[in-house]
A and B are shown apart, each in its own frame.
Chain A
């Protein structure tokens, strides 16, 4: 018995929406970062699902690329977050608005 693909897609959509809303409403930098990861993995889930449905390995390959990019992004992103917290303990994303036009 296999789970219907639409469930996976629904799950991915839910995960993505959680990520979007979390990114928009939360101020904690670390949480926002995790929300981005959530969105990435929602996309990954969609890729894998369609790879199964369409029987095309290309989707899984795309997932690997996303994972690699995400890993790199984590490195850079965490570096930035550490730098922000160095300046001010408990800083939120809104505290870093030096580049305001």
Chain B
């Protein structure tokens, strides 16, 4: 317990993501995780190199101190949500590089008072998804075999960050909408809707890793509950505005915007920067 308390949150998240990635890598060799291990290893190396390189360049011109753990966390998230390209797939490789580059750039370009507004990985994925009509696959969510690890590490992160209410609001809205749109006439129908969303989708990874990023999450219990619920509403595959359906990364960016707008002090600082 003392050791757990000593480990910084960033480092804990880094270990958590590295463990998921290593497990995926290990399980991909016998084919349990359906991604070629070569592609997965290659994609991780590319994402790490791109994130570290672009972060170094931006940190240098901004004169800012950078946290390498935060950079690695973003790179690992990208490796876990973008379908790993084969080493010879130049288009896929370029996609990973650009998602990583924009993720890192957003930390410096869209920031107020040295604090970024949007979740970097979600920003990179959303920008490239919208720009090139190529949404990320969130492949990690399709491998239920990784779920125990995701849940275990997520529980540790939650213990540290105390975002239980936020996550509960998110889960309640997402699972509630899934059940409401599913087959309500039988228990099996409800169970199917819950398992499809809870086990066979990116729901757990998104909720435990992306939603709980402390830098882009609001302060205060009720704001956190509202944040979780609103992101959950947009995350649900049934929610749409006109003909537009939100992708998970866009849903998170909308939540991040809510966090920013709900913080009067940050808005004042932003206005002062412009004045």
Binding partners A and B: no
- Chain B residues in the interface with A (C-beta under 8 A): none
